[in-house]
Amino acid sequence: MYLYELPTTGTISFADFCIDQSTDKIYANRILEATQARANIRTALKASKRTEDSAKDYLSLAKVLEDYIPLLRGLINCVAHDDIGLKMEPSFSWRTTLSNNILNNSPRLSVPGLYADLAFTLLTYGFTFSNLAHATVQSIGAYERDRTITEAQRKKKDEQLNVALGFLCKAGGVFSYITDTLLPEWEVNRGGGLNGFTRPPDLKQEVNTALVKIALADAQSLAIRKYLSKAAFESNVTPGPPLPKSHPSPGLTAKLHLECVSLYMSAKALAKASTGGEVSTEVRKYLTDKTAFHTALSHKWLGVEAGENGGAERAGDAVAFLVWAKKELEELKDSNLTLHFGKGDKEREKKGLILNELESTNTFYKYYKKVNDSLHFQPVPGQGDLQARIPAGVAAVQMRPYAPPAPAFGPGSLEDVQRQADALELGEQLPRSPTSPSSPPPKVATYAGAGSYF
């Protein structure tokens, strides 16, 4: 999975530009509370920056972000309904994660408006869950290749893979919410702050759609790993063909890899289509490498499918697909691969994935070539012929839609609903005027767009 470099942010005090315009001045403390919650985020991000990858506490960071989001949404709604006024348009300092520049490090930007801060906060929230998935997978290691592991231990590790997969699907939901809901609202909001401001790639719809696809593709790769974990463990003892009947379908395995290819390719195209700045070289390189890796594995498993289930007439196809996969894996082995196990671990990643897959592919190739040369004598087709026989991919995971929390205060909040309910109850208890015994109870105040926020 991709390991995101989390952004950092500067200090800000909402009291410097927010004015409580409510009748009873009920939001002054909430403004201070939002300032403190945001300061907690800044502290947590700075601490994470200084901590080694293996020791980062992404769960705690997610909780800090979750504490701030409803408070910021409360501020946005109160400003929209003039319960809170702005002395000036606020400006928030964020160091970007996805933007490229000459020095190839994360530039610091000043972004205007409350929506910009919400967008960067949610981006960070999505990155945090993606990195949490990465840390979870790192913690369990290459357990399928451990010959001493018990069946119960292996299943427990499988469940941890499921947990990581869930984190990625949740991250995808957050990125999708930014794309489909938050950015469009920002554009039409009267206080959106977009006049004259060019959004960085991090705040572009195309790039956030690419992030959705990256999260889903990374989750799909974990689903494949779990699908094959038992077979991978058993192959420690009896590697290669012929496959046992209990082995997962090689044809389905190939289609699962092909779906990864489709998602990574689409993400790369979206990242390249972004205007107003270029997505970082590292992200684009990651997408290129992952596309090549899963393409090679799809060809490997299409070859195994032809060799195991295609009968004599597809013996040549089995050899051809495996020759193709071998060539692609050899090229990947010799490249500057970034399949991202974390900084300093790229060489281990090469050995742990590429060399194992290359060895496995060679084993299948030698077996099917020997069978074809000695028994079936089928012609070995070229890559052009094989290309026409490649099926569509199959998705094994789905994005988990993100439902933002209700505003902590102001219009649309539970606090506001309760206040209106209390006012209604008070009105019903008041004695009616003796001069107008049939007067209706006082009306509860309503506001435009009630119940339709976000």
Q: Is residue 436 part of a domain?
A: no
pTM score of the predicted model: 0.89
pLDDT of residue 275: 62
Q: Tokens 């947590």: give the residue.
A: 44
Considering the chain, what percentage of its residues have pLDDT values greater than 70? 86
Confidence of residue 23 (pLDDT cuts 50, 70, 90): confident
Please tell me the predicted confidence (pLDDT) of residue 438: 42
Owning domain of residue 243 = 14-387
Query: How many C-beta atoms lie closer than 10 Å to residue 122's C-beta?
Result: 21
**Tens-digit pLDDT profile for residues 297-352:** 999 999 999 999 999 999 999 999 999 999 999 999 887 665 544 444 555 655 56
pLDDT at 208 > cutoff 90: yes
172 domain-assigned: yes
Residue 266 lies in a domain: yes
Check residue 339 and give its pLDDT. 52
Q: Is residue 443 part of a domain?
A: no
User: For position 155, which CATH number holds?
Assistant: 1.25.40.280
CB 347 within 8 A of CB 311: no
Q: Residue 394 domain-assigned?
A: no
- Does 67 reside within a domain? yes
Q: How many domains does the chain have?
A: 1
Please report whether residue 254 resides in a domain.
Answer: yes
The mean pLDDT value for 249-262 works out to 98
Which tokens belong to 338? 């970034």
Instruction: Indicate whether 220 belongs to any domain.
Output: yes
pLDDT at residue 237 tops 90: no
pLDDT digits (tens, 9 = 90+) for 112-146: 999 999 999 999 999 999 999 999 999 999 898 88
